[in-house]
Amino acid sequence: MTADQTDPRPEGDFETVEINIGADNVSGERFDLVTDLRLYHTGVSEDVTVELRAVGLNSGLTEASETVAVGSVERTGELAVNETLNVERAGGYQLEAVVFQGSDRGTAESKTVRGTGALTPGYPDSPVAFLQFPVYDLPVIDYQIVSKNNNIATLDIETYLTNSGDGTAEDLTLRLKARQVESGVVAAEQSIPVGAIGPEETARPGDELTVPSEYNYYLDATLWNGNQIVDTTRAGASLDPTERVQANATQREVAFELGDFTDDGGESSAPPGERTGAPADGDGGGPGFGVGVAIIALAVGIGFRAQARVNTGKKDD
């Protein structure tokens, strides 16, 4: 009598189809390298694992690695293996993928990733953002000069925040800064609790900043949720009483007086109750140039006058 014999099942085999790579959870220093490895399998495979490694292009060192347990594979067709490697944002990487069956090394594939330093850290998801006017290209930050005294100007600043979500937004803080254009020095800053913004509503938070007059400023507005930035915007504030004429690279005096733009009594023209928020304790809104910036301003002023004499051909009386 002849015993029945059963053919053994064919030994499994893997072939790499492709490696897809993405980026997620980008922070200031690190990000997640998201890997989607596609394999084609035939036969029957036992104890399958996939090892993923991110090797630094400059150092040659393994910066991160993960091992994915796949287990037994008995079907023929395409198989997806997904994993995330957390690596530093500065630098490039070679992503290596190796398939093992038990202790036996199988197919291997690699892919190079460059330019990760250009990834932009993501802001936390929030339905609140600075309103952008699509039709008339109006500035998202408004300001007016409410007082001037001894070359010190007080600016009344407000901006527009819109909640496009379905729920009420709370626990937000607006940070305002007046940054002198030429030097980049922050002359004044203030933090304002925004308060609650209902769904599909627009709030107008703002405050006053006191700065040295006769300068131009960037007005920087940053919206914070706890320790995370939600949104940012910028506008310009021109207090410098000169106007640059680009046609002949000279300067000319402009009939500009802060008093012409000062509200009587120094009060804001915004209707009562429309502005949200109050200054946070301890934040100084006063001018902040000091001696160092005064020296910079003096040097800039001398340079401007010298340029005017050269370009116009006129001498000082």
User: Do 142 and 281 have their domain in common?
Assistant: yes
State residue 307's pLDDT score: 39
State residue 219's pLDDT score: 95
User: Do 93 and 188 have their domain in common?
Assistant: no
User: Do 113 and 185 have their domain in common?
Assistant: no
**Model confidence, pTM:** 0.48
Q: Which residue has the tokens 């008093």?
A: 259
| Residue pair 173/224 in contact by the 8 Å Cβ criterion | yes
Number of domains composing the chain = 2
| Residue pair 142/156 in contact by the 8 Å Cβ criterion | no
User: Do 138 and 87 have their domain in common?
Assistant: no
In a domain, 295, yes or no: no
User: Do 159 and 50 have their domain in common?
Assistant: no
Q: Where are any strands of DSSP class E within the chain?
A: 13-24, 30-42, 45-56, 62-73, 77-88, 93-101, 104-113, 128-130, 141-149, 152-159, 161-163, 172-180, 186-193, 202-203, 206-212, 216-225, 228-238, 242-245, 250-253
Rounded CA separation 207/255 (Å): 28
In a domain, 37, yes or no: yes
State residue 111's pLDDT score: 94
SS3 (DSSP) at 137: coil
In a domain, 186, yes or no: yes
Closest by CA position to 161, among listed 179, 180, 175, 144: 175
Which neighbouring-strand residues pair with 250?
Answer: 245
State residue 297's pLDDT score: 41
In a domain, 169, yes or no: yes
Q: What long-range pairs does 288-291 form, CB within 8 A, spacing at least 24?
A: 288/185, 288/186, 288/187, 288/188, 288/189, 289/180, 289/185, 289/187, 289/212
User: Do 135 and 193 have their domain in common?
Assistant: yes
In a domain, 7, yes or no: no
| Residue pair 31/116 in contact by the 8 Å Cβ criterion | yes
Rounded CA separation 36/47 (Å): 20
Single residue among 118, 147, 166 that ends a domain in this structure? 118
Q: Tell me the average confidence (pLDDT) per consecutive run of 10 residues in the chain, 317 residues long.
A: 51 91 88 94 94 94 95 93 93 94 92 89 79 82 93 94 92 95 92 94 95 92 90 89 42 47 45 42 48 42 38 42
User: Do 257 and 195 have their domain in common?
Assistant: yes
Tokens linked to 45 = 């495979």
| Residue pair 175/241 in contact by the 8 Å Cβ criterion | no
State residue 306's pLDDT score: 36
User: Do 174 and 278 have their domain in common?
Assistant: yes
State residue 121's pLDDT score: 75
258-to-151, 214, 316 alpha-carbon distances in Å: 9, 9, 26
Give the structural domain span for 152.
Answer: 128-289
Single residue among 85, 118, 151 that ends a domain in this structure? 118
In a domain, 302, yes or no: no
User: Do 47 and 135 have their domain in common?
Assistant: no
In a domain, 3, yes or no: no
In a domain, 308, yes or no: no
CATH of the domain at 107: 2.60.40.10
Query: Edge-to-edge strands of the sheet including 77-88?
Result: 13-24, 30-42, 77-88
User: Do 97 and 150 have their domain in common?
Assistant: no
User: Do 101 and 147 have their domain in common?
Assistant: no
User: Do 183 and 235 have their domain in common?
Assistant: yes
Query: Edge-to-edge strands of the sheet including 172-180?
Result: 186-193, 172-180, 216-225, 228-238
Closest by CA position to 276, among listed 180, 163, 139: 163
| Residue pair 48/101 in contact by the 8 Å Cβ criterion | yes
State residue 9's pLDDT score: 55
Which neighbouring-strand residues pair with 238?
Answer: 216
SS3 (DSSP) at 75: coil
Rounded CA separation 289/191 (Å): 19
